[in-house]
Amino acid sequence: MMQKEQRVEIIDMLRGWALLIVVISNYLYYAYSPEWTIHGEGIVATVINGVESILFSAKGWTLLFTLFGFGFGVIYAKKKQQTYFFLARRMLVLFVFAFVNSLFYDGDILRDYAFLGLLILFFIHFSAKTLLYMAGVLFLFAPFLAAYINTVDTAYVTTLTTSIAPLRYSTQLLEVFKYNILNSIYTEVLNLAYSVTAHYIMFTCMILGLAIQKSKFLETVFEKKSQIKKSLFLVVSITIVLWGIFILSNMYKLPYLKYFSFHYWIVLTTMLSTSLLIILLYTNQKLKKTFKAFSWVGRMTFTNYLTQNLIAFFVFQGVGLGLFHHMPFYFYFLFAITIYVLQIGFSYWWLKNHVYGPLEWLWRQLSDTKK
């Protein structure tokens, strides 16, 4: 029983860590103008931008998709023959939440969870070994797919997004809703780098997460410190080598990058490096209070994610305070940290008397097939 509780806390802790990365990356997005300029050029902005690019950018959502796949495995293990109908309904309900969220945030990712969640139902019964092979093959072919997609002309997407840019700063609620919906379609559906490549990576992460759950690795994580240390050393070493090759290749503009774009290799190995480091620190009983705070937020990932987007809508966009692009770059970083700290406090308070977060509970109720 103890191992089960530890395992759950590890998963929630990682979700909380991922959500911290997400809120920082998402709020820094609001610091940029349509021309991708920022206020507050200088050493502070450079450091924040560098840390975000290396450690945070795309690492939050890749980790969340991995954990989402893990969650599918947990549900399958509990429900068995009832899994397919339950999860299908759960994903359809998620589409509804996704639509509402996309009104407030043009970077909505919930529909990606829902779409890929329906797809992964065809693979949910596979063994851990088979799933690991699948994830490995998908990982190896990712640079070829990314490079090919990068050759597709997407100038029309830029034209479309430029045409609706003024709506972004409107003080009219419906106009901002219109911008968020249209920009989401243009940049995440018509833009093949997202609709094809990013979805490919998301699905790879979900397959990996499902494999991890079926392997029962995290159920005995405290007994696998040595294995975790070796894995961490290996993954960090690979990440450093990949970063070195990537920097040199771009510096000398080596032509092979047209046919082999391994950006997502770096993203995934960096994500795995930080995740393994956190797991190792956790198993060594380090930073207990910090990880406990992460786990509170992680238990309410759905509620906290949507709340972050709602707050950003009324603080940054024209219908609210209109602070989009007008503040120094560091402001958006500090604001993200502030919101996250407040969410730690709210999550702790809520979970003292409730098993689930408010939106987690609503999602479960709407997905309940026994009604």
Residue 316 has pLDDT above 60, yes or no: yes
Spatial separation of the C-alpha atoms in residues 293 and 288, rounded to whole Å = 9
**Are the beta carbons of 271 and 63 closer than 8 angstroms?**
yes
Predicted confidence at residue 8, as pLDDT, reads 66
Phi/psi-derived region of residue 253, left when phi > 0, alpha when psi is between -120 and 50, beta in every other case: left
Predicted confidence at residue 218, as pLDDT, reads 80
CA 237 to chain centre: 23
Q: Give 48-98 pLDDT, tens digit per residue.
A: 999 999 999 999 999 999 999 999 998 888 866 677 888 999 999 999 999
Spatial separation of the C-alpha atoms in residues 110 and 91, rounded to whole Å = 9
pTM for the model stands at 0.93
Residue 369 has pLDDT above 80, yes or no: no
Mean pLDDT of the chain: 92
Q: What are the DSSP calls for 80-123, one per residue?
A: GGGHHHHHHHHHHHHHHHHHHHHHH-TT--HHHHHHHHHHHTTT
Dig out the tokens for 261 from the structure.
């774009």
247: confidence class by pLDDT, cuts 50, 70, 90: very high
Rg (CA), the chain: 21
153: number of Cβ within 10 Å: 7
Q: Give 268-294 pLDDT, tens digit per residue.
A: 999 999 999 999 999 998 899 999 999
> How far is residue 250 from each of residues 144, 209, 244, 320, measured CA to CA in Å?
17, 32, 10, 41
